[in-house]
Amino acid sequence: MKAHMSIEAILFHTKKVTKNLSFRCLLYCVFALTAFFTGSLLEPFVPNEIKDLVTPQGLKGLLTILASSMLAVTTFSLSILVQAYATVATTATPRASKLIMENDTAQNALGTFIGAFLFSVIGLIGISSNYYQENMVVVLFLFTVVMIFLIIIMLLRWIDQLSKLGRIDETIDVLEQALAEAIDTRSNFPALNANILTLPQEDLGKDKCRIYSAKVGHVQHIDLPKLNALAAKLNLKIYITVGPGDFVDSITPMAYIDGDCSEETQQCVVDALSIGNTRTFSQDPRYGLIVLSEIALRALSPSTNDPGTAIQILSSYVKAIKLWDTNTSKNHRSLKNDRASIKFEHVYMYPIQESDLFEDMFAALLPAAMPHKIVTDKIRKSLLSFQQLNNKKITDCANDWLNKLNAHSNSLRH
Query: How far is residue 35's CA from residue 119's CA, in Å, rounded to a whole number?
Result: 9
Would you give the end-to-end CA distance of the chain in angstroms?
67
How sure is the predictor about 241, in pLDDT bands with cuts at 50, 70 and 90? very high
Q: Report the candidate in 132, 127, 19, 20 with the shortest Cα–Cα distance to residue 67.
A: 127
Position 40 scores a pLDDT of 65
Question: Residue 337: pLDDT above 60?
Answer: no
Q: What is the Cα–Cα distance from 98 to 228, expressed in whole angstroms?
A: 32
Give 195-218 pLDDT, tens digit per residue.
999 888 888 877 889 999 989 999
pLDDT for 230 equals 92
Count of residues in the chain: 414
Q: Once rounded to an integer, what is the mean pLDDT over residues 161-165? A: 83
Q: What is the CB-side half-sphere exposure of residue 153 using CA atoms within 13 A? A: 11
Beta bridge partners of 218: 247, 276
DSSP 235: T
Q: What is the pTM of this model?
A: 0.85
pLDDT of residue 334: 45
Please report, rounded to a whole number, the percentage of residues in the chain having pLDDT higher than 70. 89
Model confidence at 5: pLDDT above 70 = no
Query: Percent of the chain at pLDDT above 90?
Result: 47
Average pLDDT in the chain: 86
Residue 125 φ then ψ, to 5° = -65, -40
Could you read off the pLDDT of 63-111 as tens digits, one per residue? Answer: 999 999 998 998 988 888 888 888 888 888 999 888 887 778 888 888 8
Contact between 269 and 257 under an 8 Å Cβ cutoff? The reply is yes
Closest to 352 measured CA to CA, from 202, 186, 180:
186
Give the model's pLDDT for residue 116.
Answer: 87
Bigger pLDDT: 408 vs 173: 173
Domain spans of the chain? Answer: 7-165, 172-187+289-332+352-413
Tens of pLDDT along 26-43? Answer: 777 787 777 667 766 766
pLDDT digits (tens, 9 = 90+) for 250-268: 899 999 999 878 889 999 9
Give residue 53's pLDDT: 75
Tell me: pLDDT of 112 over 80: yes
What is d(CA 341, CA 335) in angstroms, rounded to the nearest whole number?
A: 12
Whole-number pLDDT of residue 104: 80
Mean pLDDT of 337-362: 87
Reduced to 3 states, what is the DSSP secondary structure of residue 53? Answer: coil
User: Does the pLDDT value for residue 119 go beyond 50?
Assistant: yes
The answer to whether the beta carbons of residues 293 and 368 sit under 8 Å apart is no
Q: pLDDT, tens digit, for every residue of 262-306?
A: 889 999 999 999 999 999 998 899 999 999 999 999 999 998 889
Residue 68 to residues 63, 129, 259, 289, 359: CA-CA distances in angstroms?
A: 9, 20, 65, 44, 53
**Residues in CB range of 320: below 8 A, 6 or more apart:** 176, 179, 180, 183, 285, 288, 289, 357
What is residue 134's predicted lDDT score, i.e. its pLDDT? 67
